[in-house]
């Protein structure tokens, strides 16, 4: 059964298939997955006041459906500790983006708390022409980009699928607490995969979904970036 959501309806009614980070996180949150609390600011002053509300340090990111790879574009500023740093990051970021992407529609900046470091994992969904929605799991950073150390399962996932797809990647020992690091809460990651499987099953309009990265901790995990692409007519 397809379930309607306001975020998806709004984007499609505006003729948009790319959700912003803020919209994507809102949607993911509705699936019961923890995301870093992220708010839109439409001016320098608002960015500073949102940062004060959230508490320092914060992260600023460009909020534009036309800038998909935010850090490549100079659209991510991490670890901002003061109002002054936030104000400067805001102005610098908007200047860089308007120079590099003069056509981009910019909504403003997203402001979020700097999440404490964890093991970076990525979780994604794409649609296979034959099998339909497929979930992907992998470790973040170079392990995914260079080594393509990822696993896949077809939606809907069983509990066993979720357990297996995490354990079969080559980098799994990193999640078990490699070299004295705290072991990651793998049961929580399994839960995220199962929640996502159920969510995409009920939302056929979602064409692609990326949580990249999710910071995995000894207790829980939080998605600090999210990207959802929709398809029309579903």
Which span (47-55, 95-103, 108-116, 171-179) binds ligand ADP, by CB under 6 A? 108-116
DSSP 36-55: --EEEE-SHHHHHHHHHHH-
**Binding marks (x or -) toward ligand ADP, 4..43, rule CB under 6 A?**
--------------------------------x-------
Distance (Å, whole) CA 139 – CA 48: 33
* Contact in structure between 212 and 188 (CB atoms under 8 Å): no
Map the footprint of Mg ion across residues 202-231, applying CB under 5 A: 212, 225
- Residue 76 binds ligand ADP (CB under 6 A): yes
DSSP single-letter state for residue 59: E
The length of the chain in residues reads: 234
How far apart are CB 97 and ligand ADP at their closest, in Å?
A: 12
Q: Which residues pair with 154 in a beta bridge?
A: 134
Are 139 and 120 spatial neighbours (Cβ–Cβ below 8 Å)?
yes
Site string for Mg ion, 158-197 (x = CB under 5 A): ----------------------------------------
Q: Which two tokens stand for residue 66?
A: 């036309």
Residue with tokens 């019961």: 32
Q: How far is the CB of 75 from Mg ion (least distance, A)?
A: 11
Task: Tell me how far, at minimum, the Cβ of 114 lies from ligand ADP, in Å.
Answer: 5
Site residues (CB under 6 A) for ligand ADP?
36, 59, 61, 69-71, 76, 78, 112, 114-115, 212-213, 224-225
């Amino acid at each position: 059964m397809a379930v309607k959501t306001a975020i998806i309806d709004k984007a499609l009614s505006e003729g948009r298939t790319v959700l912003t980070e803020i919209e994507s996180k809102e949607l993911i949150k509705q699936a019961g997955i923890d995301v870093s609390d992220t708010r839109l600011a439409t001016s320098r002053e608002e960015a500073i006041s949102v940062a004060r509300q959230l508490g320092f340090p914060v992260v600023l990111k460009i909020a534009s459906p036309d800038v998909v790879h935010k850090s490549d574009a100079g659209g991510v500023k991490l670890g901002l500790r003061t109002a002054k740093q936030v104000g400067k990051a805001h102005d610098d970021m908007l200047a860089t983006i308007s120079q590099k992407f003069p056509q981009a529609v910019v909504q403003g900046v997203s402001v979020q708390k700097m999440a404490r470091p964890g093991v970076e994992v990525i979780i994604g969904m794409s649609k296979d022409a034959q099998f339909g929605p497929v979930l992907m799991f992998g470790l973040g950073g170079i392990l995914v980009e260079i080594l393509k150390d990822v696993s896949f399962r077809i939606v809907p996932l069983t509990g066993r699928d979720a357990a297996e797809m995490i354990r079969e990647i080559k980098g799994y020992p990193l999640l078990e607490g490699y070299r004295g690091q705290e072991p990651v809460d793998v049961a929580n990651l399994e839960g995220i995969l199962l929640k996502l499987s159920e969510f995409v099953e009920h939302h056929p309009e979602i064409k692609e979904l990326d949580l990249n990265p999710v910071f995995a901790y000894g207790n829980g995990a939080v998605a600090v970036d999210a990207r959802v692409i929709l398809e029309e007519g579903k």
